[in-house]
């Protein structure tokens, strides 16, 4: 089913005014095949939308937007230690976290309440509170947007790193991820290294999920009430010599050693220190959230250009003050 002049305003959490030239819901592999055949016949570019929580949509999105609603769940194998489950990529991420943990398949608890679909999780290797999804992905399946061919990507082929994967680089815009195959441990080993989780003592999986949810609800605006796309900038990675120079000038700057020898800086701290926390542009109302400077909000549902204008001002200011260019996390859509 191909829809025309389809309103995307409510299908992305930043709520930018946006209309797709053509759109198609994808509820089965047959839907996907038909939609791709239509796009090829009409020579239209193809884009994929999950639940729109990590995109900034253009006012006019040309070509065909595929709206992922693929469902399905299948346990493929299990032994004493782990279970291997294939999960349809259109399934809601938070639902999957709660469901898997309730079955006794553990590991995803710290990633509770991250908005979006299962299929988008590997695209930016979602992470929160000391856990990244890559640790639990065995492989994924994807359909080529150009040839319709089905391909498996083993975890190593996904080139996961901090908020990153091959689907943002060499394979960007080429594949529709149709299912993600997780391997989850059957023994619960909670990761409690992050501040507000440290106070938990031998939590049950359910208590851990509840704690993660309550920390998130306290800190982050809910997109339905206040449109946003979560963290707008990734934490910048700098060389250790750059980090040492910064620390000399700003002894309180939080920084973390990364496995590759570089240092990760807290982008929220930089924005906060520069005085942007809670700031709003008087004309567009676009600004930063008063409890978390890393989140840009769009309460008046303004077009993407207004959001990018504010983001650009923040990037320029941080670069001038700290010599670090912040990188945008949400992806441009159209
Ligand atoms: C309030 C809030 C809090 C957030 N907190 C976190 C957090 O703690 N950690 C974190 O990592 N992220 C966080 N995010 C970002 C976001 O939730 C994740 O990136 C999520 O995985 C996006 O899922 P989605 O279905 O909404 O993807 P979309 O926004 O619809 O799409 C994102 C990108 O992935 C592509 N894509 C989507 N589905 C597929 C598919 N099936 N195949 C191929 N490409 C696809 C799209 O084309 C687009 O480029 C947060 C966002 C919000 C609004």
Check which CATH number belongs to the domain holding 11 and give it: 3.30.43.10
Q: Report yes or no on 225 lying in a domain.
A: no
Based on the fold, state whether residues 205 and 77 are members of the same structural domain.
yes
Q: Report yes or no on 287 lying in a domain.
A: yes
Based on the fold, state whether residues 181 and 213 are members of the same structural domain.
yes
Known catalytic membership, residue 163: yes
The response to whether residue 55 sits with its C-beta less than 6 Å from ligand 1 reads yes
The response to whether residue 165 sits with its C-beta less than 6 Å from ligand 1 reads no
171-192 burial: b if 16+ Cβ within 10 Å, else e: beeebbbbbbbbbbeeebebeb
> Pocket of ligand 1, candidates 50, 51, 96, 161: which has the most ligand atoms within 8 Å of its Cβ, to mutate?
50
Based on the fold, state whether residues 307 and 269 are members of the same structural domain.
yes
The response to whether residue 334 sits with its C-beta less than 6 Å from ligand 1 reads no
Q: Which atom from ligand 1 is nearest to the alpha carbon of 115? A: 17
Round to whole Å and give the CA distance between 104 and 52.
Answer: 30
Based on the fold, state whether residues 292 and 310 are members of the same structural domain.
yes
* Tens-digit pLDDT profile for residues 40-67: 999 999 999 999 999 999 999 999 999 9
Round to whole Å and give the CA distance between 260 and 240.
Answer: 11
Q: Which atom from ligand 1 is nearest to the alpha carbon of 176? A: 42
Indicate which residue's Cα is closest to atom 39 of ligand 1. Answer: 120
Indicate which residue's Cα is closest to atom 47 of ligand 1. Answer: 48
Q: Which of the listed residues 68, 83, 114 is the one where a domain comes to its end?
A: 68
Q: Which atom from ligand 1 is nearest to the alpha carbon of 13? A: 53
The DSSP 8-state label assigned to residue 59 in this structure reads S
29 to 12, 36, 220: CA distances (angstroms):
23, 11, 35
CATH number at residue 185: 3.30.465.10
Q: Which atom from ligand 1 is nearest to the alpha carbon of 175? A: 43
The response to whether residue 68 sits with its C-beta less than 6 Å from ligand 1 reads yes
Based on the fold, state whether residues 43 and 87 are members of the same structural domain.
no
Please name the residues in contact with 156: beta carbons below 8 A apart, sequence gap of 6 or more: none
Round to whole Å and give the CA distance between 296 and 310.
Answer: 9
Q: Report yes or no on 318 lying in a domain.
A: yes
> Pocket of ligand 1, candidates 47, 113, 120: which has the most ligand atoms within 8 Å of its Cβ, to mutate?
120
User: Is-contact 334 270, C-beta < 8 A?
Assistant: no
Q: Which domain holds residue 311?
A: 233-332
Phi first, then psi: give them for residue 212, nearest 5 degrees: -60, -45
User: Is-contact 277 293, C-beta < 8 A?
Assistant: yes
Round to whole Å and give the CA distance between 309 and 280.
Answer: 12
Round to whole Å and give the CA distance between 70 and 129.
Answer: 28
Q: Which of the listed residues 45, 68, 91 is the one where a domain comes to its end?
A: 68
Q: Ligand 1 centroid to 111 CA: how many Å? A: 13
Percentage helix, strand, coil for the chain under 3-state DSSP, each rounded to 5: 30, 30, 40
* Tens-digit pLDDT profile for residues 129-143: 999 999 999 999 999
Q: Report yes or no on 310 lying in a domain.
A: yes
Catalytic residue from among 47, 89, 100, 163: 163
Based on the fold, state whether residues 288 and 201 are members of the same structural domain.
no
Round to whole Å and give the CA distance between 108 and 128.
Answer: 10
Q: Which atom from ligand 1 is nearest to the alpha carbon of 163? A: 11
Q: Ligand 1 centroid to 121 CA: how many Å? A: 6
Based on the fold, state whether residues 139 and 158 are members of the same structural domain.
yes
Q: Which of the listed residues 192, 218, 244 is the one where a domain comes to its end?
A: 218
Q: Ligand 1 centroid to 54 CA: how many Å? A: 4
Q: Report yes or no on 228 lying in a domain.
A: no
Based on the fold, state whether residues 237 and 111 are members of the same structural domain.
no
Number of domains in the chain: 3
38 to 24, 139, 145: CA distances (angstroms):
10, 29, 12
How large a percentage of the chain has pLDDT more than 90? 97
Q: Report yes or no on 200 lying in a domain.
A: yes
Indicate which residue's Cα is closest to atom 21 of ligand 1. Answer: 121
CATH number at residue 243: 3.90.78.10
The DSSP 8-state label assigned to residue 12 in this structure reads S
| Of the candidates 245, 267, 93, 106, the residue with the CA atom closest to the CA atom of residue 180 | 93
Based on the fold, state whether residues 43 and 25 are members of the same structural domain.
yes
Tokens of 207: 């208590």
Q: Report yes or no on 102 lying in a domain.
A: yes
At 259 the pLDDT is: 78
The response to whether residue 227 sits with its C-beta less than 6 Å from ligand 1 reads no
Known catalytic membership, residue 329: yes
At 195 the pLDDT is: 83
Based on the fold, state whether residues 242 and 208 are members of the same structural domain.
no
Based on the fold, state whether residues 210 and 188 are members of the same structural domain.
yes
Q: Report yes or no on 223 lying in a domain.
A: no
The response to whether residue 111 sits with its C-beta less than 6 Å from ligand 1 reads no
Please name the residues in contact with 211: beta carbons below 8 A apart, sequence gap of 6 or more: 196, 197, 200, 203
Q: Ligand 1 centroid to 250 CA: how many Å? A: 33
| Of the candidates 42, 83, 91, the residue with the CA atom closest to the CA atom of residue 63 | 42
Give the chain's residues under pLDDT 50: none
Based on the fold, state whether residues 244 and 142 are members of the same structural domain.
no
Alpha-carbon dihedral 227, 96, 61, 140, rounded to 10 degrees:
140
């Amino acid at each position: 089913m191909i829809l025309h002049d389809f309103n995307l305003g409510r299908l992305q959490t930043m709520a930018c005014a946006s209309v797709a030239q053509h759109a198609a819901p994808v509820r089965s592999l047959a839907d996907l095949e038909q939609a791709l055949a239509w796009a090829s016949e009409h020579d239209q570019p193809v884009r994929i939308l999950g639940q729109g929580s990590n995109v900034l949509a253009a006012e006019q999105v040309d070509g065909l937007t595929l709206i992922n609603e693929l469902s399905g769940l299948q346990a493929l194998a299990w032994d004493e230690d782990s279970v291997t489950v294939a999960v349809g990529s259109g399934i809601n991420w938070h639902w999957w976290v709660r469901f898997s943990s309730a079955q006794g398949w553990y590991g995803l608890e710290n990633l509770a309440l991250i908005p979006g679909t299962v299929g988008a999780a590997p695209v930016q290797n979602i992470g929160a509170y000391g856990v990244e999804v890559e640790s639990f992905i065995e492989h994924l399946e994807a359909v080529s947007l150009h040839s319709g061919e089905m391909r498996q990507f083993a975890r190593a082929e996904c080139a996961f790193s901090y908020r990153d994967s091959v689907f943002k680089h060499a394979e960007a815009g080429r594949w529709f991820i149709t299912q993600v195959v997780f391997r989850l441990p059957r023994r619960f080993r909670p990761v409690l290294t992050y501040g507000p989780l440290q106070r938990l003592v031998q939590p049950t999986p359910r208590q851990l999920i509840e704690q993660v949810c309550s920390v998130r609800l306290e800190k982050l605006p809910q997109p339905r009430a206040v449109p946003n796309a979560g963290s707008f900038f990734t934490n910048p990675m700098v060389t250790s010599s750059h980090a040492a120079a910064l620390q000399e000038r700003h002894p309180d700057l939080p920084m973390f050693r990364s496995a590759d020898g570089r240092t990760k800086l807290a982008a929220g701290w930089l924005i906060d220190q520069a005085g942007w926390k809670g700031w709003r542009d008087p004309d567009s109302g676009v600004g930063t959230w008063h409890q978390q400077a890393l989140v840009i909000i769009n309460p008046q549902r303004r077009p993407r250009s207004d959001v990018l204008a504010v983001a650009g001002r923040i990037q320029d200011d941080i670069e001038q003050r700290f010599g670090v260019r912040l990188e945008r996390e949400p992806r441009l859509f159209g």
